[in-house]
Structure 1
Amino acid sequence: MLLCAIAALGLMFAEHRFTRMDEVRAQLTTVVAPIQWMVSLPSGVLTWGALALSDQRALVEENRRLREQLLTLSQRAQQMAHLTAENVRLRELLQAARRDDMAYITAELLSLDSDPFTHQMVIDRGRRDGAYVGQPVMDASGLVGQITAVSAYSSRVLMINDASHALPVQVTRNGLRFVVQGTGHYERLNVMHVPDTADIRVGDRLLTSGLAGRFPQGYPVGRVVSVEHDPGEPFARVIAEPSAQLQRSRHFLLLFPPPPPEPRPGEALWDESFTVVEPPQELQR
């Protein structure tokens, strides 16, 4: 160290006194440059590694945040799709209800009956909402059924495809009237007692006829999908599919059809313009 110190002092004194030492110093700097680079290499490697690790850590964190954001946005998109579909169904329900300005309330499905031999469901409207036994229930596509039991906050609905349910219908094309009965299957309804010569075809639309006063007239019930004629039988076998989406609908309308007009006191129940003709005396005897 003493020799190095003496050499350093000598070099500094020579550089201060002699101008030719600048060239010598430049040559020595060139010779020492690789050594300086080798000495600074570990420090550079450590600095580069630290930057690389920090950048990778930042990228990993950013990737995690983007994944969380994508999951959140995907969940919101699914909710929006569900709300959009529900809004469309509700709009269809409102459009379906604009028939003679009939009063109605909306309802939502609570549960389906677990008994495989019955087709009933429970909705979230009850006595406090004005629901009553026998009230028609429909969805955006057609008639679903009628209420058979009412509690304070819910009601039980017998669906039209239940084997114990029947209702009068009318063919839109020609006005023929029949009775449609459930079969226990969601996709089939039986059109009962259709004469073999009746003018009914595949594709005919069946609407409620309004007879018996239970269901209002003109609401879709089903569409004829099969007509089979047996030469040895007086009646044809006619199958229809329900118009309502019985397996998919979750929102419904409870209709409030107007009550049938009651005769005023003293008013005859028949048209008085008709004349009662007495039978001849031969027939009376």
Structure 2
Amino acid sequence: MQLFKLLGNKRLFIMLIGLVAFIAIMGFTLGPRASLSWPEKFVKDTVGFVQSVFYKPAAYIAGFFEDVRNMKGIYEENEELRRAVAQYSRESASYNTMKANYEELQDILGFTKNQKERYKYNYRTAQVLSVNSDPNNRTLVVDLGERDGVRPNMSVTTVDGMVGIISSVSNFTSTVKLLTTMDAQDPNPQPISVTAIGKEDKTFGVVESYDEKTNTLLMTRISEDDPIKKGDKIISSGAGGVIPQGMIIGKVLSVQTSQYGQSRTATIEPAAKFDDWKYLIIVFTPEEPE
């Protein structure tokens, strides 16, 4: 009777039933079996669903911040690459400039060596500082002056050919008057006595003017029996004592009879190029005693 009274207590009865069910489930779970029971499946599915509900947003947020960190790293790498490309471009331009200058100086060195073997002159390389493009006063300024031994009327040339003469000198710079300013009507003309290579004892003439329309020099005072012809290379003869012998002037394009019929003239294509100035060569001749 007491047991039934005890069992009549509903709370205790429910606890007892729950304990028995728990022991039964534990025994069933620990026993060997091939598949899960439906309570286990229910619990696992419920836990898995809850985990997925929280895991996916968390994974998305974590991935977002990871992408942000990666984007920052990519941006920094791109900035480094931009700086590297800019540095490479500057170094490439500097290298190309140095290479061009080196090749030009190598050409000048070869030129001066050959000229020294042929003529007893000294040569100094001068850098062009400025260019006056006034058609009536085409001049250049170079970085050698009186302190370097430069004197007025010295010849100035490039590897290709003569470009002009020194017209004035200061302590540190000199002004070069170009052959393109030569004019027979100039009150102070500076004609160049010339001859042809291989015909030094037969061909004579004077270059005294430049034609801007045709970009050619005019050689005058050529005798009727002079063997000069198209294609001859014209150089300075050294007559007159101002322009030294052997300065390359240009090439004969044509020979024609002068307007008076007593002599002939020749049209000369200048050997030098008058459009790109970086370096010039000043010819130092022995100074004549006064």
**What is the alpha-carbon distance in structure 2 between the residues aligned to residue 188 and residue 131 of structure 1?**
28
Structure 1: 5+ residue stretches without partners: 1-6, 263-285
Check conservation: 1:117, 1:184, Cα contact below 8 A.
no
Choose the corresponding residue for 1:105, options 97, 107, 124.
Answer: 124
Q: Residues 232, 190 of structure 1: CA spacing in aligned structure 2 closer, same or farther, 3 A cutoff?
A: closer
**What is the alpha-carbon distance in structure 2 between the residues aligned to residue 167 and residue 103 of structure 1?**
20
**What is the alpha-carbon distance in structure 2 between the residues aligned to residue 34 and residue 82 of structure 1?**
70
Structure 2: 5+ residue stretches without partners: 1-14, 31-35, 184-189
**What is the alpha-carbon distance in structure 2 between the residues aligned to residue 76 and residue 17 of structure 1?**
80
**What is the alpha-carbon distance in structure 2 between the residues aligned to residue 255 and residue 119 of structure 1?**
20
How far has the Cα of 1:127 moved from its partner? 0.7
Higher alpha-carbon deviation: 145-154 or 114-123: 114-123
Check conservation: 2:211, 2:218, Cα contact below 8 A.
no
Q: Residues 178, 51 of structure 1: CA spacing in aligned structure 2 closer, same or farther, 3 A cutoff?
A: same
Q: Compute the RMSD of aligned alpha carbons.
A: 3.0
Report how many residues are paired: 253
**What is the alpha-carbon distance in structure 1 between the residues aligned to residue 66 and residue 90 of structure 2?**
36
Check conservation: 2:223, 2:264, Cα contact below 8 A.
yes
Q: Does 1:82 align with 2:90?
A: no
Structure with the greater alpha carbon radius of gyration: 2
Check conservation: 1:169, 1:207, Cα contact below 8 A.
yes
Aligned partner of 2:75 in structure 1 is 60
- Aligned-partner SS, 1:115: coil
**What is the alpha-carbon distance in structure 1 between the residues aligned to residue 127 and residue 258 of structure 2?**
43
Q: Residues 15, 227 of structure 1: CA spacing in aligned structure 2 closer, same or farther, 3 A cutoff?
A: farther
How far has the Cα of 1:207 moved from its partner? 1.2
Aligned partner of 2:243 in structure 1 is 215
Normalised by the length of structure 1, the TM-score is 0.77
**What is the alpha-carbon distance in structure 2 between the residues aligned to residue 29 and residue 50 of structure 1?**
31
Choose the corresponding residue for 1:158, options 165, 171, 177.
Answer: 177
How far has the Cα of 1:161 moved from its partner? 1.9
Q: Residues 260, 117 of structure 1: CA spacing in aligned structure 2 closer, same or farther, 3 A cutoff?
A: same
**What is the alpha-carbon distance in structure 2 between the residues aligned to residue 237 and residue 124 of structure 1?**
37
Check conservation: 1:213, 1:260, Cα contact below 8 A.
no
How far has the Cα of 1:169 moved from its partner? 1.4
Aligned partner of 1:134 in structure 2 is 153
**What is the alpha-carbon distance in structure 1 between the residues aligned to residue 259 and residue 79 of structure 2?**
74
Once the two structures are superposed, residues 147-171 of structure 1 have per-residue CA deviations (whole angstroms, 9 ceiling, x without a partner) of 1111111111111221244211111
How far has the Cα of 1:245 moved from its partner? 2.5
**What is the alpha-carbon distance in structure 1 between the residues aligned to residue 81 and residue 100 of structure 2?**
28
